[in-house]
A and B are shown apart, each in its own frame.
Chain A
Amino acid sequence: MSDTAEQGRTSWSNADLGIPDSGPARFESAHELRRGLAEIGYLADDGIAGVVYLADRLAKPVLVEGPAGTGKTQLAKSVAELSNSRLIRLQCYEGLDESKALYEWNYRKQLLRIQAAQISGGSDDGLRAASAAQTKDGAAWKHLEEDIFSEDFLLTRPLLEAIRADEPVVLLVDEVDRVELETEALLLEVLSEYQVSIPELGTVRATRLPMVFLTSNNTRELSEALKRRCLYLHIDYPGLEREREIVRTRVPGITDELADQVARIVQSLRTIELRKAPSVSETLDWARTLVLLGIESIDASGARDTLHILLKYQSDIERAAKELLSAGT
């Protein structure tokens, strides 16, 4: 390894000491965790708190699945806030690859550097420089190569960022089901070894394991290997009490009575067969709207006028109105 590479590594020099650990427990108990989350506005249940607590103790990533808008993403954010960690988020999409997930060389900067070297080297002719590179001046080019593949030219992406961070980190890999298999394999590798090897620079190891959350909307099945590596958490729609608490916490200025009514109605709607059941985010949108409109208690007409915020399909709205609002059902 060259000098530059060594230098590049000093910023994560502790990394060579061995296998990183998860550090001291972030949370005292599942119970404490649940309480702490509630204090910062995330209402977990025993299952959620239990799994997150365990994930910290076992130093394992959590794979979070469940219907849309049930607080999967928010969970990671809230856990980061509670544990005073930096949240690093990798938003997945079809086509996400290594260069956007892990790292990439800043090729523009590299090209500029190369051009600068040619000019300062007294050569204004690219082709002559090229032939020089292959013959007598090879050493200079070797030096330049080391230079442009050093830390300064590296664009760090979320995975690498999470691994080399010195401070505590919560890594959120959001909507992991959207990446292709190759990228999933890359993820698995990183989440198993917590190290990244950059051919030009050497190996980067985590000094402290980040807490990792992967969320999935289950649009495709993840590999067995990835699932084996993770703890699994399915977050379903909350029950009545929890949903009422979420509404009370997240909607400023709402009365207890209205929050209760909102939660009850939403719970009832979820028992009807709909094309798309209302999610927690839709519950919250609805509650906020009702507060804005100054509605204190929902009656049939208030419900009818605002149902479209809760339900996305016209057929669902009609169905809900029929089931809930008209007598004789």
Chain B
Amino acid sequence: MLDLLSGFVMELRQSGLPVSLTEHLDAADAMHHVNLDDRDELKYALGATLVKSNSHWRAFETAFEIYFALRRDSGPGDTQIENLEAWGEAGEKSFPGAGMGLPGQQGTGRGGGSGMTPQELAELLYQAIRSGNSGMLAMVARHAVDRFSGMEPGRPVGGTYYFYRTLRNLDLEGVLQRLMEEARHTAASSDGDALTALEERLMADAYKSRLDDLRKSIESEIRRRLVADRGAEALLRSVRTPLPEDIDVMHATRDELKALQVALHPLSRKLAVRLARKRRHQRRGPLDFRATVRRSLSTGGVPVEPKFRHPHPSKPEIFVVADISGSVASFARFTLLLVHAISSQFSKVRSFVFVDGIDEVTRFFEGADDPADAVRRINAEADVVWVDGHSDYGHALTVFNDRWGDEVTSKASILMLGDARNNYHASQAWVLAELQARARHVYWLNPEPMAYWGSGDSIIDEYGVHCEAVVECRTLRQLERFVGDLE
């Protein structure tokens, strides 16, 4: 059993989850206190000990479902596999054809109904969604996969293929419409009133959530059969998806950006704190009475020499200067999220965006609790285009220096964000040199893979010499590392 757990922990680490030895041991301990036959109980116990961030839960859950897939929740007609060891072995071997009811094939060992006609299945589906009965939903899922997924042992096809194939044949949209029609009809014939918009909405939402449940059941049914066919390890390798912190920000999808945004928030605070550090012990804090009293003992209780506490960290002053041109469009979105996250927590963050012109956008972030709002306003209102809307770092830096350069003092840190692709304009790198001389720190985060730096019109090296550090920043993990190194 502990071997099984070790394998699982290893799998989590492979997916990038940071599971420590302590946590592994805690999980092993936890297994003594749960009913191993109760899959959910096991899942929550392992989750609580191994996964310490909600953004990792999805990856954990997928891995768990696959790793422990051969155990199905007890239901009528299910054969329970007795213990964990047995699932482990079963997961490693492959059972060609086990549970793979092919279309038209009868008697898969799970009894009953494999000969159901598509019409019968459609009727069962309709009844299941109408009633929301979970037993019926599970039955529909199994029969639907039997009949429509077209699963064949040994085929190296991903689960999503089978999933969509099954769904296509079920016409869930049609079921929803039929149910809504029926509801309207019933309402009209019983009390003569048509359904109100609110009633319709609530009813539709209820059916939709049952349809979602059905989709989930179908998904897990397919997964279970794939595990039986190929073994958990092989399957796990094929479904691994990046954690939010490993998503490449240059190529993130909308959903991925959303996940990024959530994970970004705490990190940005850390970043701001780090950038502001070192100023800590410069000023005096409030009187430390305890130390004063102790010291006063040597003077007979007269507090002649007051002791002061260290002050709280003072507000950092951060200038974020970001390229939001087309070449870094999706990085720019990420950048703006980052700027938003930083400025929502620190009052002394000033933000600037540029393409070939540059504009201060601090005001758009103030009081905007929705970054999307801020981003929208910046895109609409910020004055960042000077000539042709292609990045001109040199011009942007020069204007920045002319207009705001005086405000960059030894308290300020400058964070440059961009790929330094300058469209062959003059670099004006001397401006950055000047700024560096005045500022506390200058850092540059570059969203391009390091291998491309300096190629074509990238002049990151010219600017890099005037920065304390230039780092590749394509993922949150890299950003995190940068933040960690600031200490």
Chain A interface residues toward B at CB < 8 A: 30, 46-47, 50-51, 53-55, 57-58, 60, 62-63, 65-66, 94-95, 97, 99, 104-105, 107, 110-111, 114-115, 117-118, 126-127, 129-134, 141, 144-145, 148, 177, 180, 218-221, 224, 227-228, 230-234, 240, 261, 264-265, 267-268, 271, 275-276, 298-300, 303, 323-329
Bound CA span A117–B300, Å: 10
The reply to whether the CB of B177 lies closer than 8 angstroms to some CB of chain A is: no
The reply to whether the CB of B381 lies closer than 8 angstroms to some CB of chain A is: no
The reply to whether the CB of B74 lies closer than 8 angstroms to some CB of chain A is: no
Chain A contacts for B451, CB-based, 8 A: none
Chain A contacts for B198, CB-based, 8 A: 265, 298-300, 303, 324-325
Interface contact A54-B45, CB-CB below 8 Å? yes
Interface contact B20-A228, CB-CB below 8 Å? yes
Interface contact A131-B300, CB-CB below 8 Å? yes
The reply to whether the CB of B51 lies closer than 8 angstroms to some CB of chain A is: yes
Interface contact B34-A54, CB-CB below 8 Å? yes
Closest to B52 in A: A227
A155 to chain B, nearest CB (A): 10
Chain B contacts for A54, CB-based, 8 A: 30, 33-34, 44-45, 48-49
Bound CA span A201–B463, Å: 58
5 chain-A/chain-B pairs, Cβ below 8 angstroms = A30-B41, A47-B40, A126-B300, A129-B301, A268-B202
Binds A, one of B78-86, B225-233, B262-270, B391-399: B262-270
Interface contact B312-A130, CB-CB below 8 Å? no
> Ordered nearest first, which 3 A-B pairs have the shortest CB separation?
A130-B300, A114-B301, A221-B266
- From B49, B200, B273, name the one whose CB has the most chain A CB atoms within 10 angstroms: B49
Chain A contacts for B41, CB-based, 8 A: 30, 46, 50
The reply to whether the CB of B205 lies closer than 8 angstroms to some CB of chain A is: yes
Closest to B49 in A: A231
Closest to B19 in A: A228
A84 to chain B, nearest CB (A): 22
The reply to whether the CB of B253 lies closer than 8 angstroms to some CB of chain A is: no
The reply to whether the CB of B190 lies closer than 8 angstroms to some CB of chain A is: no
A46-B40, A130-B300, A132-B300 known; A107+B205 contact, CB < 8 A:
no
Chain A contacts for B57, CB-based, 8 A: 234
Chain A contacts for B300, CB-based, 8 A: 114, 118, 126-127, 129-133, 141
Chain A contacts for B202, CB-based, 8 A: 261, 264-265, 268
Bound CA span A144–B41, Å: 58
B76 to chain A, nearest CB (A): 21
A50-B45, A107-B289, A275-B369 known; A228+B22 contact, CB < 8 A:
yes
Chain B contacts for A110, CB-based, 8 A: 293
B132 to chain A, nearest CB (A): 10
Closest to B21 in A: A228
Chain A contacts for B370, CB-based, 8 A: 275
Bound CA span A267–B273, Å: 37
Chain A contacts for B299, CB-based, 8 A: 130, 133
Chain B contacts for A275, CB-based, 8 A: 369-370
Interface contact A324-B197, CB-CB below 8 Å? yes
Bound CA span A148–B198, Å: 69
Interface contact A329-B270, CB-CB below 8 Å? no
Chain B contacts for A30, CB-based, 8 A: 34, 41
Bound CA span A164–B316, Å: 39
- Which listed residue, A50, A180, A233, A303, touches B312 by the CB 8 Å rule? A180
The reply to whether the CB of B6 lies closer than 8 angstroms to some CB of chain A is: no
Which B362-399 residues sit within 8 Å CB-CB of chain A?
369-370
The reply to whether the CB of B105 lies closer than 8 angstroms to some CB of chain A is: no
- Which listed residue, B45, B54, B265, B292, touches A107 by the CB 8 Å rule? B292
Bound CA span A148–B300, Å: 13
Interface contact B48-A233, CB-CB below 8 Å? yes
The reply to whether the CB of B455 lies closer than 8 angstroms to some CB of chain A is: no
- From A53, A177, A220, name the one whose CB has the most chain B CB atoms within 10 angstroms: A220
Closest to A58 in B: B29
Bound CA span A186–B302, Å: 31
- Which listed residue, A62, A66, A99, A228, touches B290 by the CB 8 Å rule? A99
Interface contact A271-B205, CB-CB below 8 Å? yes
A287 to chain B, nearest CB (A): 16
Chain B contacts for A261, CB-based, 8 A: 202
B373 to chain A, nearest CB (A): 8
Bound CA span A242–B8, Å: 31
Interface contact A300-B290, CB-CB below 8 Å? no
Closest to B267 in A: A221
- From A126, A144, A221, name the one whose CB has the most chain B CB atoms within 10 angstroms: A221
Bound CA span A126–B296, Å: 11
Interface string of B51-81 (1 = CB under 8 A from A): 1111001000000000000000000000000
Interface contact A268-B201, CB-CB below 8 Å? yes
Interface contact B267-A329, CB-CB below 8 Å? no
Chain A contacts for B292, CB-based, 8 A: 107
Closest to A328 in B: B197
Chain B contacts for A132, CB-based, 8 A: 300
Interface contact A228-B23, CB-CB below 8 Å? yes
Bound CA span A63–B51, Å: 11
The reply to whether the CB of B282 lies closer than 8 angstroms to some CB of chain A is: no
Interface contact B196-A299, CB-CB below 8 Å? yes
Bound CA span A268–B205, Å: 7
Interface contact A95-B201, CB-CB below 8 Å? no
- From A30, A232, A329, name the one whose CB has the most chain B CB atoms within 10 angstroms: A232
The reply to whether the CB of B26 lies closer than 8 angstroms to some CB of chain A is: yes
A219-B345, A232-B51 known; A105+B298 contact, CB < 8 A:
no
A72 to chain B, nearest CB (A): 13
Closest to A130 in B: B300
Interface contact A127-B302, CB-CB below 8 Å? yes
Bound CA span A317–B289, Å: 51
Interface contact A232-B293, CB-CB below 8 Å? no
B228 to chain A, nearest CB (A): 26
Chain B contacts for A134, CB-based, 8 A: 298
Chain A contacts for B313, CB-based, 8 A: 180
The reply to whether the CB of B209 lies closer than 8 angstroms to some CB of chain A is: yes
Bound CA span A130–B338, Å: 58
The reply to whether the CB of B16 lies closer than 8 angstroms to some CB of chain A is: no
The reply to whether the CB of B47 lies closer than 8 angstroms to some CB of chain A is: yes
The reply to whether the CB of B206 lies closer than 8 angstroms to some CB of chain A is: yes
B442 to chain A, nearest CB (A): 25
Bound CA span A36–B350, Å: 52
Which B214-273 residues sit within 8 Å CB-CB of chain A?
265-267, 269-270, 273
Closest to B194 in A: A327
Bound CA span A127–B205, Å: 81
Bound CA span A54–B54, Å: 19
- Which listed residue, A94, A145, A232, A300, touches B48 by the CB 8 Å rule? A232
Interface contact A47-B44, CB-CB below 8 Å? yes
